[in-house]
Structure 1
Amino acid sequence: MPSPQQARASASAITSGRTAPEAAAAPASQLRALFDGPHLSPGQRRIAQYLIENIAEAAFLSITELADRVGVSQPSVTRFAAAVGFSGYPALREKLQSIALRTLASGPGAAEEDRANELQAAVDAEIENLENLRRDFADPDLVIDIGRKLSRSTPLTVLGLRISVSLAEYFAYAARRVHPDVRLVTLGGSVAYDALLQSREAGGTWVLAFSMPRHAHETLTAVQVARSAGLKVALITDLALGPVADEADVVFATGTGSRLVFDSYAAPGVVCAALLQAMTDADPERTQARLEEYEQIADQHQFFLRD
């Protein structure tokens, strides 16, 4: 009798291509795609991040108002517009307004949000993050491609430092069920450097890294070490723009819940599960063999309670 995990591994494979009616990408995703191509200066990244976080209001600001809000000069805003492919700020603002108006048209009413208490508001924020992620997953090809590459990397290194440790531990724990050599790195500094260099020397090709807020300097340094050693880096984070994202080969950016004292990670958790699914799909025979072997060991040693 297959375990639930075995059944899910064979029954819930991700299908390439758009199998559902195409939905408009989430506003934050549209803006990240708009700003992600060029290499932006730190000041320009501040402008981009302000627009992503405040699109409904920022799209209607004059160049002077936007510069004041971000704390940059008006010429800096003009240079930013040019850097992301527009003839000037008026052309950029027209694009921003079209995105903002769609957001306002589809967003929940403010009165409904006002009726929610703080815990309900935190849940509402996570629901919005998941809805945005659902739109991003309308085309699953990137998840499928990176899942295959992570599956082929032996060893596969999973890096998560400070607050990101919990997500890295979850991913590594599950990945070990379907991958023969997963190496978890949760300490920074020279310990991380040694692990990354050893992984590359052993034949590894990819690192899956996590960078949740507050983003740590040691995460940036570890990612840079991985890249310098010849490893490719896939990054799960909350921002597509920033120093760590700039160093990664592939970025999966999705929102975190920030309404309470400590962030919650519903959407990053789903990204983890999606990549794990893609890894199982990449080599179904190995997946089934390893899951079957694990179930036999678990039964023999009674790892789990009988539900």
Structure 2
Amino acid sequence: MPSPQQARAQASAITSGKTAPEAEAAPTSQLREMFDGPHLSPGQRRIAQYLIEHITEAAFLSITDLADRVGVSQPSVTRFAAAVGFSGYPALREKLQAIALGTLAGGPGVAEANRSNELQAAVDAEIANLENLRRDFADPDRVIRVGRELSQSSPLTVLGLRISVTLAEYFAYAARRIHPDVRLITYGGSVAYDALLQAHEAGGTWVLAFGMPRHHHETLTALRVARGAGMRVALITDLALGPLADEADVTFATGTGSRLVFDSYAAPNMMAAALLQAMTDADPERTWARLEEYEQLAEQHQFFMKD
């Protein structure tokens, strides 16, 4: 008789392949996909990030207004349009307007938004982040592939510094139930570098890193150390663009809630849970054996109270 957690592991296995397109990909995901391929200069990254954060307004700006908002020159906007695959700014703006109009058509009514208080607005923003992530999951194959890679890395290193510590701790705590060697790094500087190099020497091939705002140099340097040692990096962050993403082999960009004094992380937590599920699916025999062993220990030592 399987334990409840073993039953959940079986029942929630991810099905490969793209589902029926119930909705177009989230606007932020469409923009990140457009801007993620080319190698952009720092000024071009600023343009891309402004468009991602202000798509419904920015899509209707003239080239002069957009350049002024971002703080770059008009030729920089033209070069940006060419860098991301368009013949010029008019062609780029036409594409942006199509995305923006789709956003406005699917978004909540202004009247309803105005009726929300601050806490409700914060919840609404997180619901929107989760809706965007749901659209991204329409094709789960990348999650499945990376989960398989993380499952095969032994040891598997999980990195999260400062505000990202709790996300990394959650992932590492759960991953240890299904993976034999998970190493958690929550301190930066030479402590992180030593741990990364030791993990590599022990045979580790992957690092899963969390990089939530505010992004800081310790995480960036740690990722560079990992890649310099020959390890690959999967990154869960809020931006698909920027220095952290540049150091990652795979980036999962999810929105964070920023309506309150401290950010909230519903979507990054869901992204972490999805990778854990993919790791579970990657080696079901090992998963079953480890969960069974844990259930026996929990029963023997009475870890949990009876419901």
Same fold (TM over 0.5): yes
SS at the partner of 1:184? strand
For residue 240 of structure 1, what is the amino acid of its counterpart?
Answer: A
2:45 counterpart of 1:28: no
SS at the partner of 1:269? helix
2:120 counterpart of 1:120: yes
2:159 counterpart of 1:171: no
Partners of 2:247 and 2:49 in 1: how far apart? Answer: 17
Q: Percent identity?
A: 85
Q: CA deviation at 1:4?
A: 2.0
> What is aligned with 2:99?
99
For residue 162 of structure 2, what is the amino acid of its counterpart?
Answer: R
Partners of 1:92 and 1:236 in 2: how far apart? Answer: 28
SS at the partner of 2:293? helix
Q: CA deviation at 1:106?
A: 1.1
Query: What CA deviation, in whole Å up to 9, does each residue of 1:104-146 have, x standing for no partner?
Result: 1111111101100111000000000000000000000000000
Written as runs of structure 1 = structure 2, the 5 A alignment for 1:183-262 is 183-262=183-262
Partners of 1:3 and 1:248 in 2: how far apart? Answer: 37
> What is aligned with 2:12?
12
2:265 counterpart of 1:265: yes
Q: CA deviation at 1:56?
A: 0.3
Which portions of structure 1, spanning 4 or more consecutive aligned residues, are displaced by more than 4 angstroms?
none
Partners of 1:218 and 1:276 in 2: how far apart? Answer: 25
Partners of 1:12 and 1:27 in 2: how far apart? Answer: 28
Query: What CA deviation, in whole Å up to 9, does each residue of 1:192-244 have, x standing for no partner?
Result: 00000010100000000000000111000000000000000000000000100
TM-score by length of 1: 0.99
For residue 46 of structure 2, what is the amino acid of its counterpart?
Answer: R
Query: What CA deviation, in whole Å up to 9, does each residue of 1:133-176 have, x standing for no partner?
Result: 00000000000000000000000000000000000000000000
SS at the partner of 2:19? coil
Query: What CA deviation, in whole Å up to 9, does each residue of 1:234-257 have, x standing for no partner?
Result: 000000001000110000000000
Query: What CA deviation, in whole Å up to 9, does each residue of 1:81-113 have, x standing for no partner?
Result: 111111111111011011011111111111101
> What is aligned with 1:149?
149
For residue 82 of structure 2, what is the amino acid of its counterpart?
Answer: A
SS at the partner of 1:66? helix
Partners of 2:22 and 2:217 in 1: how far apart? Answer: 38
Q: CA deviation at 1:21?
A: 3.7
Aligned length: 307
Partners of 1:105 and 1:294 in 2: how far apart? Answer: 49
> What is aligned with 1:299?
299
Partners of 1:259 and 1:200 in 2: how far apart? Answer: 39
SS at the partner of 1:86? coil
TM-score by length of 2: 0.99
SS at the partner of 1:50? helix
Partners of 1:74 and 1:300 in 2: how far apart? Answer: 69
Partners of 2:305 and 2:30 in 1: how far apart? Answer: 46
Q: CA deviation at 1:5?
A: 1.4
For residue 116 of structure 1, what is the amino acid of its counterpart?
Answer: S
Q: CA deviation at 1:22?
A: 4.2
Partners of 2:282 and 2:252 in 1: how far apart? Answer: 19
> What is aligned with 1:283?
283
SS at the partner of 2:270? helix
Partners of 2:96 and 2:7 in 1: how far apart? Answer: 45
Partners of 2:221 and 2:19 in 1: how far apart? Answer: 40
2:106 counterpart of 1:82: no
**Cα distance change on mapping 1:20 and 1:183 into 2, 3 Å:** same
